[in-house]
Structure 1
Amino acid sequence: MADAARKIDEQEHSDVRRSARASVYVNVDITSEHNFWTDMTMNIAEGGVFVATHQEVPLGTVLVVNMMLPRERAAIVAFAEVRWTRAYSGQADVPPGLGLAFVHVEDDGLTRIRRFLATVREPLFFED
Structure 2
Amino acid sequence: MKTVKIDLVIERQENKLWGRVTYNGNLITDTAPTVAELETKIKKLLEDFEDVNPDTVEFTHSYDIYALFEHFDFLKISNVAKHAGMNPALLRQYVSGAKNPSEEQARRIEETLHRLADEIKKSVLVVS
Q: Same fold (TM over 0.5)?
A: no
Band of TM-score, shorter chain:
0.3 to 0.5
Question: Which has more strand, going by share of residues?
Answer: 1
The TM-score normalised by the length of structure 1 is 0.32
What TM-score does the superposition give when structure 2 sets the normalisation length? 0.32
Larger Rg: 2
Q: Which has the higher contact order (CA 8 A, sep 6+)?
A: 1
Higher helix share: 2
